[in-house]
């Protein structure tokens, strides 16, 4: 019996996710430069040609992995989509970002490893800035309403703090008291 269009769409989505997950794990463990399209296809159990039905290149694959995760983060940043960040939304976001880091360990390991690979990060820098611009803009407005003398610096501090905490967790998750640290961060913004 032939498959329905919905079944075919579901199969395509599953293959795309399989490719992305496989690539993410390989990029995180072996480094982006060391992983070829052939290696990704082989590890995913598909042909190299099939990879190109989903992604134009290895760079496109990486960009889509990062974009998808950032879109997930953005969904939790301004949940009511009013363009204004409120204190309870910021605190909920802190909870969610810590959960996302714990739940997507391989992605975050990959993401932060890109920072020490300038030639790779250069591939993503335009997309990265594009994705972060609304985030920082909303944070600056929030800190401005809270009376911060330099809302831009406060927004950068907030982002850099989360980055630094994530890296420390990724380095040694067994000894990093992530829940205690999350509460400490939240106490700074109550």
Domain ranges in the chain are: 1-55, 57-188
CA 54 from chain center: how many Å? 20
3-class state of residue 130 by DSSP: helix
SS3 label, residue 20 = helix
Q: Supply the pTM of this predicted model.
A: 0.79
- CA neighbor of 141 nearest in space, from 84, 80, 87: 84
What's the first-to-final CA gap in the chain, in angstroms? 59
R_g over Cα of the chain: 19
pLDDT at 164 over 80: yes
Which pLDDT tens digit goes with each residue over 80-129?
Answer: 888 889 999 999 999 999 999 999 888 888 778 877 777 777 777 777 77
Longest dimension (CA), the chain: 67
CATH tag, 1-55: 1.10.10.60
Per-residue pLDDT, 80: 86
Q: Which fold has domain 57-188?
A: Tetracycline Repressor; domain 2 (1.10.357)
Q: What is the mean pLDDT of residues 32-51?
A: 93
**Are 106 and 25 contacting, i.e. CB atoms less than 8 angstroms apart?**
yes
Q: pLDDT at position 30, please?
A: 85
Q: How far is CA 17 from CA 21, 51, 115, in A?
A: 6, 11, 24
């Amino acid at each position: 019996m032939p498959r329905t269009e919905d079944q075919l769409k579901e199969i395509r989505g599953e293959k795309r996710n399989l490719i992305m997950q496989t690539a993410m794990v390989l990029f995180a463990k072996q480094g982006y430069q060391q992983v070829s399209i052939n290696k990704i296809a082989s590890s995913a159990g598909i042909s190299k040609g099939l990879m190109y039905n989903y992604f134009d290149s290895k760079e496109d694959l990486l960009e889509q992995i990062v974009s998808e995760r950032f879109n997930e983060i953005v969904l939790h940043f301004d949940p009511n989509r009013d363009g204004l960040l409120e204190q309870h939304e910021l605190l909920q976001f802190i909870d969610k970002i810590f959960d996302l880091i714990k739940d997507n360990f391989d992605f975050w390991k990959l993401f932060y490893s890109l920072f020490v690979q300038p030639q790779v990060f250069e591939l993503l820098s335009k997309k990265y800035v594009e994705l972060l611009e609304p985030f920082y803009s909303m944070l600056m407005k929030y800190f401005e309403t809270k009376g911060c003398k330099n809302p831009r610096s406060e927004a950068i501090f907030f982002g850099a703090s989360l980055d630094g905490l994530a890296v420390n967790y990724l380095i040694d998750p067994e000894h990093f008291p992530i829940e205690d640290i999350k509460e400490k961060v939240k106490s700074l913004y109550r």
